[in-house]
Structure 1
Amino acid sequence: MLMQVNNNGVISFLAAVSQFNSYSFPVADGRPIITPFWADVDTRKGGTLSYREVLRFAQDDGIFLAADDIIRASFVDMKFFLSSWMFIATWDSVAFYGASNQSAARNSFQAVMMTDGRYSFAIFNYRDINWAAGGSSSPAQVGFNAGDGVNYYSVPGSRTAAVVDIETTSNIGVSGRWVFRTDNSNIKGLASTTSGV
């Protein structure tokens, strides 16, 4: 399946998402999307967007071990989870559209998608979230949308000014980290247990 990392804080499947103004979920346009922070990001004012696909080999095992530990601690029925593929997208120190200069407020956030071939998960990491919207756009949408108008999950505070506090919230008891199981249509966003990972 074609995957696109969009500048606006969206990872989309099947087609790019050019809309800078986030929509409320559910969005029934046929495009599944993962939205770590769908907002009016403008990297022309500084900051970077980077992404990479990683397969599990001995030289990359450290990042897999750390991510696997997060999944095992978050979902008690996944105590033997061992990922084999990972995709990491990072928006680092990005400004918003309409920012006046290089010293404008910046956001840093990341999405990590991973699978063992059977079970799939997404981890959203947040650091230094200083703006919720850019220009005249709506505050950011955070979550998932299957594109079918039925299956979606919107993180509490999405599309409100409160989304700027996402770096202090969590669904697993670790500030700035949200973890979701994404391999079926019923996206699970609540952890079965919490841990200090």
Structure 2
Amino acid sequence: SQSDDGSSPAISLLRSFNYFGHSYSQIYVNHNGDLTFTGPYYSYTPQQFPMYGSTDIIAPFWTDLDNRGNGNIYYVQYTSGSLLQQVTQDINTYFPALNFQANWIFIATWHEVAYYPMTGTRTTFQAVLTTNGQYSFVLMNYGSIASTSRSIQAGYDTISSSHHFTIPGSFSSNATGPNSAFSLGSNVNIPGRWAFRVDHGSLVCHFNGKRTESLRLFFCKTEPMYHGNR
């Protein structure tokens, strides 16, 4: 839907998703660049993680967005098909010791959305949730990020901030524009992609066994987005 500070209705998940010990069967896709589980989240003023609050939140790009003039927000979920296999392959590349086989993926895409108030800017990013029933992962993918002076919080936070992660560049001038730290950086060697295991306390992604907490990699950009049916 097109609105300012809106949210999707409750979306029933085809598989339950374990987020740091809480098993969720529904999700909300919020227009201001984040996902929540227990209710919609309308806040257009990002707060720095850790918030020490009462919300489990996955925030690929929390800021004041407005898609009344341009931009669309899509979500889709799969329990089979080629995209499921692609995500399975990617997770096993990033976390090679787990022998992961995805049985579900949920993809939320904010496509060419504008900053408030209907500025005509175009910013594209994506959050991907996947699980095999035991392990849970979140991928954040970044396309073109329009420049803005607004603050951006990217990462995730949990109730009481028992687990949290902030993508480098959040709340800085490096967050947006052609040299966005989100779209040029990565913790899995693919500029524009960030991967996190979220079923337990691990805050650090491992790539081929090496700790890669906040690598900034500036080489030929591959396409980080997953393209499914809209």
> Which of 108, 130, 133 is matched with 1:89 structurally?
108
* Distance apart, 1:15 and its partner CA: 2.1
Evaluate the alpha carbon distance shift between residue 170 and residue 32 of structure 1 in structure 2; reply closer, same or farther with a 3 A threshold.
same
Evaluate the alpha carbon distance shift between residue 159 and residue 190 of structure 1 in structure 2; reply closer, same or farther with a 3 A threshold.
farther
Which residue identity is paired with 2:105? Answer: M
Q: Which residue of 2 aligns with 1:109?
A: 125
Which residue identity is paired with 2:151? Answer: P
Contact kept? 1:48, 1:92, Cα under 8 Å:
yes
* Distance apart, 1:188 and its partner CA: 3.2
Contact kept? 1:120, 1:183, Cα under 8 Å:
yes
Contact kept? 2:62, 2:154, Cα under 8 Å:
yes
Rounded Cα–Cα distance in structure 2 between residues aligned with 1:132 and 1:147: 29
Please list the CA deviations of residues 66-98 of structure 1 after superposition, one character each: whole Å capped at 9, or x if unmatched: 1111111111213x2110011110000000002
Two-structure CA RMSD over aligned residues (Å): 1.9
Which residue identity is paired with 1:71? Answer: I
Q: Percent identity?
A: 30
Rounded Cα–Cα distance in structure 2 between residues aligned with 1:41 and 1:131: 13
Please list every run of 5 or more consecutive structure 1 residues that lacks an aligned counterpart in the other structure.
Answer: none
Please list the CA deviations of residues 114-136 of structure 1 after superposition, one character each: whole Å capped at 9, or x if unmatched: 00000011111111111345xxx
Counterparts of residues 1-197 of structure 1 (less than 5 Å): 1=24, 2-56=26-80, 61-78=81-98, 80-100=99-119, 104-133=120-149, 138-164=150-176, 165=180, 166-192=182-208
Evaluate the alpha carbon distance shift between residue 139 and residue 192 of structure 1 in structure 2; reply closer, same or farther with a 3 A threshold.
farther
More helix by share: 1
> 1:45 aligns to what SS in structure 2?
coil
Please list every run of 5 or more consecutive structure 2 residues that lacks an aligned counterpart in the other structure.
Answer: 1-23, 211-221, 225-230
The structure with higher relative contact order (CA 8 Å, sep 6+) is 1
Count how many residue pairs are aligned between Structure 1 and Structure 2: 184
TM-score (norm 2): 0.75
TM-score (norm 1): 0.86
Deviation >6 Å, runs of 4+:
none
* Distance apart, 1:158 and its partner CA: 0.7
Contact kept? 2:78, 2:84, Cα under 8 Å:
no
